[in-house]
Amino acid sequence: MSRHRYQRILLKLSGEALMGDGQYGVDRGVIERIAREIKEVTDTGVQVAVVIGGGNIFRGMAKAADGMDRATADYMGMLATVMNSLALQDAVESLGLPTRVQSALHISEVAEPYIRRRAIRHLEKGRLVIFGGGTGNPFFTTDTAASLRAMEIGADIVLKGTKVDGVYTEDPVSNPQAMRYNRLSYNEVLERNLQVMDATAITLCRDNDMPITVFSINKPGALLRVVSGEDEGTLVHGETTSC
């Protein structure tokens, strides 16, 4: 029995966070560090499932704006998330942690199909499960896939590991004066139009009472601290007081 606060978590990893200092793709050093941090968490007995974004390789919306058919661009984005999933699987398995990639798109040569009960069984056996292919539907994002899978597998929380260390009053990348919240409600994120996570994902979590913590995956040790229930990042939950 784990002495940690959460027993089963859904970790959403930003694709862009995998780039390190590069302009695109996967930085080997970054993905190896993230793999080590994930293993530290599974070593404590916490069950971990992961959804990875694809922004380091392909973002459908941007290509649609360039004139490409949106649905086709979105399928390319979903395929990019499968590539990131395989890269993470490789890094994690090299540390000796058994891992399964389940894809929402059928690519049976490289990944299992997504089967909810099978995913849960893998987790119970202590395997890391990586969900590739997003939701399998265009016009969605991997944030929404993370919320959906978290609900399906009965996770205790969605942990969004990204480039910033929480939810801010505005995007801290464009406004360094922005202030970070410690906690705030789903409705406050929606009403204030805070863009750290898309509205569909927030709404799905709100309607199903699934808490979210946004934290920096670039900060060494932050993942284990969040999982241990320490004060790290921003908690988005059902109560209405922000601070």
Ligand X SMILES: Nc1ncnc2c1ncn2[C@@H]1O[C@H](COP(=O)(O)OP(=O)(O)OP(=O)(O)O)[C@@H](O)[C@H]1O
Using CB under 6 A, which residues numbered 28 to 87 contact ligand LLZGTKA7?
53-55, 59-61, 73-74, 77-78, 80-81
Q: How far apart are CA 134 and CA 145, in angstroms?
A: 5
Quick one: 56 or 89, whose CB is closer to ligand LLZGTKA7?
56
Largest CA distance in the chain: 53
SS3 140: coil
Q: How far apart are CA 72 and CA 197, in angstroms?
A: 23
Quick one: 47 or 147, whose CB is closer to ligand LLZGTKA7?
147
Pairing between β-strand 234-237 and β-strand 212-216 as defined by DSSP bridges: antiparallel
CA dihedral 137, 55, 170, 21 (to 10 degrees): 170
Q: Which does 119 bind (CB under 5 to 8 A by kind): ligand X, ligand LLZGTKA7, none?
A: none
Using CB under 6 A, which residues numbered 100 to 119 contact ligand LLZGTKA7?
none
Please give the structure tokens belonging to residue 234. 């921003």
Residue type, position 229, single letter = G
Cβ 78 to ligand LLZGTKA7, closest distance in Å? Answer: 5
Quick one: 102 or 142, whose CB is closer to ligand LLZGTKA7?
142
Q: Which residues of this chain interact with ligand LLZGTKA7, rule CB under 6 A?
A: 15, 53-55, 59-61, 73-74, 77-78, 80-81, 134-135, 137-138, 140-143, 145
